[in-house]
Each structure stands twice: as structure tokens, then as C-alpha cells.
Amino acid sequence: MSSNEDASAAPAPPTLSPATQIPYHRLAHLRPRYRWWRPLLTGLLALAFYIVLLLVLTVPLVVAAVVIPGWGDEMMVLLTSVRYFDLDRPWLLIALVLPLILMIPALLLASRVVEGRGVGLLSSVTARLRMGWLGKSLLLALAVFAVYFAVVLGWSALAGEAVVADFSHPGLWIMVLLVLLLIPFQAAAEEYVFRGYLMQLVGSWLRHPAFAILLPVPLFVLGHGYDVWGAASVGAFAIVAAWLTWRTGGLEAAISLHIVNNVLIFLLGSVALVDANATSGTAADLVGSMIAMVVYAVLADRWARRLGVTRTATAPVPAPARREGTHHLPRALHG
């Protein structure tokens, strides 16, 4: 038999299927210790860590309220106040925002302890927060919402309402500084919990992205004490932010939307152009905010595609086990 005949008779090596592409909401399957119950355990441990952090924060304040004259009265203001945005008491904003920011270390630490390496997968499919894309989406959100608030204020002026900025309050610049320093972290914390952890929790069990996008929405709405129109707006926000997270493969665009929305409301509230403590709204408010959010989402999605922002993670393909005379196909990770 000729060498050519030998070559033709030999079995052809197996063709390896391409590695599986994993969307954002299914990234829990790429964690080294993944089991169906581990994301749940992560949430429970994160809650325990969060309670400990709150105690570390509040116990010294309670002691100070007992020891330092006047602090007890201020603590009562905190416990009984329905207005957390008050130029006369900027520390009320700190009391509102700082506990929310603590959700970030609690969640990331619990995720590392329970699920092992790959905590960065909570940020994006590249296992990190993509700062370049975050900066670009921030600029886009700022442009869209600057137009939106300009239209809202212009419409109010045309309707005969007084639209005059007030820069006279002595606590204004302290409040502006606190808003610029704290609100971005508050917005990011909520995104890591509601669009990061909860989307991946649901996505670890249910494949279709609609479940991961929609099921966490009621929890996000319940965390905001608004009337029906305000709750509808918050729900729409949650859906848009979750859709953007899935479409762009990470939290950056959702974080940008959250930061710009909250920062502009607080800054405009600082100069009496809007009521930053408002918990009610109207149908017109809902429609206007939804239009702004949808415009931002569409533009962000198209820009991300044009920039080549990575939308999925590639599941590693295990090296095939080899035995003499046999061939074994690698098992693709189906998540």
C-alpha cells in the first residue's frame, strides 16, 4: 500500500466547534466555583457583610449622639426626616447615600468568597469596568439629559411657572461638592446590585435575557417610595438600564444613565429649579423621562456597536483529553 493510500485511509482529526459566546446575564457560569445555589449564597453573605458595615458606620454615630451635646437632636432629624435633600443640613445627603455606597464592598467581597475568582465579571464581559466606554457613555447621557431638562424647564416657563435659579444659599457649594463626590458611587452601587448581581442571579438559572431584565424590576421599584407615576418611571428606568447592560455586555452605560440622571436632579435641586425630594409625578413626567431614556439607550447601543464594545465573553474550551488511537472532543460550556 502506498503512502498516499495510507494517508487517505487515516481518520480525519475532529473539527472543534467554536467556543461558546456568553452574554452578560449568563456570566455566573464562567465563575470557577459555579453551582446553581452559589449566587443565592453570595446574596445572603453580601447582606450579612452589609449589616456589619452598617453597624461599623452607625455605632460610633450613636455613641456620639449620646456624648456630644446637640448630636442627639440631629440624629432625631435624621430618623424622622422625609427630606434627605436639604441645603441647611447637607449631612442628610451623606446619611442617605453612604449606606447605599457600602453595598459595593459588601457585594464584591461576598462574590469573591463564595464564587471565587472573576469578581470583575459583575462589571462586564471583559471582567473589568471599561473606563473608556464609561466615559463616552457619560458624555452621551449628559448631552441627552441636558436637552431633556432644558425642554422641561423651558416648557414650564412657557406655562407661566417661575423658572429662576437661586444661587444665594450659603450651603449651596457644599451640597454641589457632595453631589459630585458621592452620587456617582451611589448610582454605581445600585447598578452593581440590581443590574449586576440580580441579573446574573436570574441569568444563572434562566437562559432568555427577558427574565434577567424584567424579574429584578419590582425589587428596584420597591426600593423607591414614589407614587404610581414615579414608580412607573423608576420601573422604566430599570428596564432600560438592564437592557443596556445586556446589549453592551456590561454595567457602564447603565451606570452613566444613573449617574447623570441623579446628579442633574440634585444639582438642579440645589438651585431650586426642581424638587429633589419629590416622590410624586404626572403622566407627562413619565412620558418625557421615558423618551429621554429610550433616546439615550438607542444612541448608546448604536455607539457601542460602532466602537466595537465587546458584548459577550468567550467561554474557555477545555483542552481535549488524548489517548493513543482515540480522539476526544472538548466539551463546550453551555451557560
The letter for the amino acid at 175 is: M
Q: Which of 17-21, 128-132, 157-161, 164-168 has the lowest mean pLDDT?
A: 17-21
The secondary structure of 109-132 as a DSSP string is HHHHHHH-S-GGGGTBTTSS--HH
Query: Residue 253 and residue 248: Cα distance in Å, rounded?
Result: 8
Q: Please, what is the average pLDDT of the chain? A: 88
pLDDT digits (tens, 9 = 90+) for 81-124: 666 788 888 888 998 899 999 999 999 999 999 999 999 999 99
For residue 207, pLDDT over 80 is answered with yes
pLDDT of residue 12 exceeding 50, the answer is no
Residue 289: pLDDT over 80: yes
pLDDT in tens, 32-47: 999 999 999 999 999 9
pLDDT for 324 beyond 60: no
- Which 3 state secondary structure label does DSSP give 154? helix
- Please give the pLDDT value at position 320: 56
Confidence band for 319, pLDDT divided at 50, 70 and 90: low
The predicted model gives 65-69 an average pLDDT of 77
Q: How many CB atoms lie within 10 A of CB 8?
A: 8
